Amino acid sequence: MEQQRQSSSRLSFLHLSCVIFLSTLVSCQLDYKYYDDTCPNLTRIVRYGVWSAISNDTRMAASLLRLHFHDCFVNGCDGSVLLDDTSTTKGEKNAFPNRNSARGFEVIDAIKANLEKACPATVSCTDILTLVAREAVFLGGGPFWAVPLGRRDGLTASESEANNLPSPFEPLENITAKFTARGLDLKDVVVLSGGHTIGFAQCLSFKNRLFDFSGSGKPDPTLDASLLQSLQSTCPSQADSDTKLVALDSVTTNKFDNIYFQNLVNKSGLLQSDQALMGDNRTAAMVQYYSKYPYFFSKDFGASMVRMAKIGVLTGQDGEIRKNCRVVN
């Protein structure tokens, strides 16, 4: 009888620990060792695929990180961003935030193909995206963090939800609301914005700051004068410059570091939504902190990425393991 009570207590403790440890958005079926037996070479295969892609195109690191973000913020991390349009379903690739800008799909395809050879019908496209984002950051000089695995792939996509992704044109309070609706907080907004330490933006996404900010007929006053002059030269006020690319961090463009935050302190954030972090006392204090302490930015970035990768995941028997990341089985 005593043994039964002890066993029951242990189970209750384990259950309670599980509930406390993970957010309510995800079950306890995510596991750091999920594929250790079924696909032991998973990390090596993913890392090689990402390394190969970045070796051919340094921009790809930021593109792969962005894909993971755009996946998780649309109905949870379920690989929906990877699905192609079909005769009956519109995918997310042509939603406004993704059209002509989301890229890296062929990198995911290549990694998936290699994993299907090594361990068929085992690793989900969603877990691949999650690992790929970590490797892209790590290979770019950023932090390494452990990733709990076991996500399954969704069966649907939503163009309308993808059109509601956080936008560089939105005020900070709107962006924060979208984060909190997904179980994240203001600190996550600041930390994950630090992902803009790598990558590029099209002129269209910040040109509103350069010539007629908020209908004032003048540039955004929070933009550094010398940067403004450079950007006006690169992105003149004409439509044919809309798709030109400018580095989000012009100081260390391809290195994952904390210079992004130093840029914000110096009024050199490229996107309006980035520089807006200096317009709120709470977020400005965090920006100042991360601009001085790269170690803590790296540590917190990994923690925020783990939290984001738990948004609305499918586990157990929900969803499926796609054989081809572009189509439902």
**Residues 71-101: tens digit of each pLDDT:** 999 999 999 999 999 888 889 999 999 998 9
Per-residue model confidence as pLDDT tens digits over 231-243: 999 999 999 999 9
Q: What is the pLDDT of residue 89?
A: 84
Residue 17 pLDDT > 80, yes or no?
Answer: no
DSSP bridge partners of 201? 246
Query: How far, CA to CA in Å, does 257 sit from each of 66, 90, 117, 137?
Result: 16, 37, 35, 10
Band of pLDDT at residue 279, cut at 50, 70 and 90: very high
Q: What is the pLDDT of residue 88?
A: 85
Residue 2 pLDDT > 90, yes or no?
Answer: no
The residue with tokens 């009024």 is: 267
On whether the CB atoms of residues 142 and 298 are closer than 8 A, the answer is: yes
Q: Between the CA atoms of 200, 137, 111 and 312, what dihedral angle is there, to the nearest 10 degrees?
A: -90
Phi, psi for residue 156 in degrees, rounded to 5: -135, 170
Overall average pLDDT of the 61-77 stretch: 97
Residue 13 pLDDT > 50, yes or no?
Answer: no
Active site residue 196: no
Helix (H, G, I), strand (E, B) or coil at 116: helix
How much of the chain, in percent, has pLDDT values that exceed 70? Answer: 91
Helix (H) or strand (E) holding 307: helix 294-308
Per-residue model confidence as pLDDT tens digits over 125-171: 999 999 999 999 999 999 999 999 999 999 999 999 999 999 999 99
Any idea what the Cα angle at residue 28 is, between residues 26 and 34, rounded to 5°? 110
Average pLDDT, the chain: 92
User: Which amino acid type is present at position 23?
Assistant: S
Query: How far, CA to CA in Å, does 125 sit from each of 203, 251, 306?
Result: 31, 34, 17
Concatenating the DSSP letter of every residue in 247-289 gives ESSSSSTTS-SSHHHHHHHTT--SSHHHHGGGGSHHHHHHHHH
Model's pTM, two decimal places?
Answer: 0.89
Q: What is the pLDDT of residue 27?
A: 45
Catalytic residue among 15, 68, 70, 196: 70
Band of pLDDT at residue 28, cut at 50, 70 and 90: low
Overall average pLDDT of the 238-262 stretch: 95
